[in-house]
Structure 1
């Protein structure tokens, strides 16, 4: 007979809830083309869960932005901004010290649309799916998975200056199976590497700088085209869908699997959280034509690459080169807050009460009226 195991939140827990404050983050961002078909496949697998006939939403790729963003982030200080819990005699999270870490993720914009009978009252939102995210800090890895629904992996990450001053070198190593041979063990292998020349202007490049997107952005003609803006920084600050997302709301599938039957979930929910990029400064461009970026298409890594890269049906055993369409470096202060569970999926559990479904997808204009016309969030849905 199965019994429920109670969940205990201890004051000694290393899991820290949002909000977080990250000052002085260094970000290296690289943009590459991505297949809309693969993005839709990801949405259908991890976001569009449940029967289509009864689901009140659908996720689709943002057709106007057919790019994936690869971000290398260096957090010198990670601070918990969570207020102390009233009535509890414990050390506030903010007083427990700070940590630092490196992080790399692939971000893809997706749009959630309302559908069916609830289309008019279901919120339509731009969100960012993170099909791949690794961190160098084990606490962040566990906390991100358990609290935020982000599928963080623990990895060895190199993030620093490359061969030339003002250049960038990034490298990720992950545990993986080198092939499909039975009886083989996982081992640390290089998953990704990226090398740049120095930021522009530089004499060290091999490709003409006038062909770079950065040169276009910095030209007076480009400034006039975007409304008389005088600089790249103004251009970036004025477009949330530009090269720097000033407000990025992530969406992820948070789920727990039954240890006795890993094919069954005992909890599933869509979770969103907002990352605000504030005080963006020291924006510098790389010549995207002078960047070497590749992913190793070997063994078990192939399953990861299939999500966001145009790779074949089988691993090639060779590096898969990727062309970047833009690349830049900047510093910013990042706030990570407003954690929100937007959809909890109903689950039938053998020998235990079923988990009811719940939804918080209604549009802002309808929320003040929801108490009059419908059930509150948390009430089981038909």
Structure 2
């Protein structure tokens, strides 16, 4: 049921946006667990999630000390399908006798009938914890969610839908995914628009990310002592057991200690810039959605010692890299592939602690606005003047949502 305060969305046949939920079968996933800088993660939370004062918003996001890692995922979607119901103007649409009412001017092409597409996608995901304020808020409004410091796609439809519906800051890029130099290996590259530095120049296509792996386990190193969780999965009985019951997402979560992300509840800042005063926003909200992996198959692990994960640490890319790795260089920069070492050395290596690949069906659902921020007249000055638009919150944790009606007033049907 549509909330009373929400106006009906005006849909156009020639619009690129497609309403959620979405279903993506047989997605190929390449995942890399890399070390993250918790101070940088907390700074991201303070800059993009903890807006205003803690008392005003009623929550606080913090980095998770027990998990100082980021998930770097390369995904290939062979088929992308909208699972949304028919969208019709005026209540007149298809029926069994007239499935295509071309004479009806109010008819809008159903989302599921708009065809399918495919894409490549790359993003980094880091867990953060939302804590409610006060004893009650701490109990029923605290939840683990995932931030996405960067997410890039090579499909315009996905870019538009990700920004408009999911609140994800998707950017268009060129993503090359394929086999590596050795049998059973992987090679992934990302190029996207950026600037080399702070000097005046035109934005141009630059390499951003380079990932190269060795073959999946077991490899020629199989006789060496186990040095990580990933290498432990080279044992055939363990891999066989995982493959047989990998459809049980909870088991995969537990058995891999979080290396394989079967469910992610994301949080992102969705905002629209004020055209009259471009330094201000006319709308700001934290929005969330759930990505769920099911029917997991072909689960394999890489030896993390055979993996290169390298960012092009230059110009406008530095901010995105710093959110994950921090702004303190712990190791010297190296030569980035494809770039002339006589020009500059800009490759920044990430430390890989685990890597895997699998195939799965992916669902995107449970989209909701977690918190709308107040829009104030003197927002730019940080003051507390006239409220132009009062915000609202829906921060109840997922585990408590089915019980919420038993502990408070229930809405009238």
User: TM-score normalised to the size of structure 1?
Assistant: 0.86
Matched residue, 1:380? none
2:344 corresponds to 1:334: no
Equivalent residue in structure 2 for 1:109, among 127, 145, 164: 127
| C-alpha distance in structure 2 between counterparts of 1:16 and 1:242, whole Å | 31
SS in structure 1 opposite 2:165?
helix
1:343-354 aligned within 5 A: 343-349=371-377, 354=388
CA apart distance, 1:370: 3.8
Residues 113 and 122 in structure 1, CA contact (< 8 A), matched pair in contact too: no
Matched residue, 1:41? 43
Residues 374 and 387 in structure 2, CA contact (< 8 A), matched pair in contact too: no
Matched residue, 2:86? 84
CA apart distance, 1:260: 2.9
Equivalent residue in structure 1 for 2:309, among 278, 293, 314: 293
Matched residue, 1:231? 241
Identify if the C-alpha distance between structure 1 residues 142 and 349 changes in structure 2 by more than 3 Å, giving closer, same or farther: farther
Alignment deviations for residues 37-88 of structure 1 (CA, whole Å, 9 cap, x no partner) = 1111111111111212322111112222211000000000000000113615
Identify if the C-alpha distance between structure 1 residues 117 and 285 changes in structure 2 by more than 3 Å, giving closer, same or farther: closer
Residues 231 and 302 in structure 2, CA contact (< 8 A), matched pair in contact too: no
Identify if the C-alpha distance between structure 1 residues 230 and 285 changes in structure 2 by more than 3 Å, giving closer, same or farther: closer
| C-alpha distance in structure 2 between counterparts of 1:164 and 1:145, whole Å | 37
Matched residue, 1:3? none
Matched residue, 1:195? 212
2:202 corresponds to 1:185: yes
Equivalent residue in structure 1 for 2:229, among 192, 213, 227: 213
Give the number of equivalent residue pairs: 359
Residues 55 and 115 in structure 1, CA contact (< 8 A), matched pair in contact too: no
CA apart distance, 1:143: 1.3
1:131-150 aligned within 5 A: 131-150=149-168
CA apart distance, 1:120: 5.3
CA apart distance, 1:141: 0.9
CA apart distance, 1:123: 1.9
2:306 corresponds to 1:306: no
| Coordinate RMSD, CA, aligned | 2.8
Gaps of 5+ in 1: 1-5, 224-228, 377-382
| C-alpha distance in structure 2 between counterparts of 1:120 and 1:162, whole Å | 47
Alignment deviations for residues 83-111 of structure 1 (CA, whole Å, 9 cap, x no partner) = 11361521110011001000000000111
SS in structure 1 opposite 2:55?
coil
| C-alpha distance in structure 1 between counterparts of 2:356 and 2:225, whole Å | 14
SS in structure 2 opposite 1:343?
strand
Q: Which has the higher strand share?
A: 1
SS in structure 1 opposite 2:216?
coil
2:72 corresponds to 1:70: yes
SS in structure 1 opposite 2:409?
helix
Identify if the C-alpha distance between structure 1 residues 297 and 349 changes in structure 2 by more than 3 Å, giving closer, same or farther: same
Equivalent residue in structure 1 for 2:15, among 2, 5, 13: 13
Matched residue, 2:114? 96
Most deviating of 359-368 and 104-113: 359-368
Gaps of 5+ in 2: 1-7, 93-106, 334-344, 379-385
Matched residue, 1:325? 353
Following superposition, which runs of at least 4 residues in structure 1 exceed 6 angstroms of deviation? none
SS in structure 2 opposite 1:289?
helix
2:404 corresponds to 1:366: yes
CA apart distance, 1:215: 3.0
Identify if the C-alpha distance between structure 1 residues 76 and 218 changes in structure 2 by more than 3 Å, giving closer, same or farther: same
Alignment deviations for residues 3-61 of structure 1 (CA, whole Å, 9 cap, x no partner) = xxx98431321101211000000000000111111111111111111212322111112
2:186 corresponds to 1:168: yes
Residues 218 and 231 in structure 1, CA contact (< 8 A), matched pair in contact too: no
| C-alpha distance in structure 1 between counterparts of 2:228 and 2:173, whole Å | 32
Identify if the C-alpha distance between structure 1 residues 120 and 59 changes in structure 2 by more than 3 Å, giving closer, same or farther: closer
Identify if the C-alpha distance between structure 1 residues 349 and 140 changes in structure 2 by more than 3 Å, giving closer, same or farther: farther
Residues 148 and 339 in structure 1, CA contact (< 8 A), matched pair in contact too: yes
Identify if the C-alpha distance between structure 1 residues 133 and 246 changes in structure 2 by more than 3 Å, giving closer, same or farther: same
| C-alpha distance in structure 2 between counterparts of 1:367 and 1:319, whole Å | 53
SS in structure 2 opposite 1:149?
coil
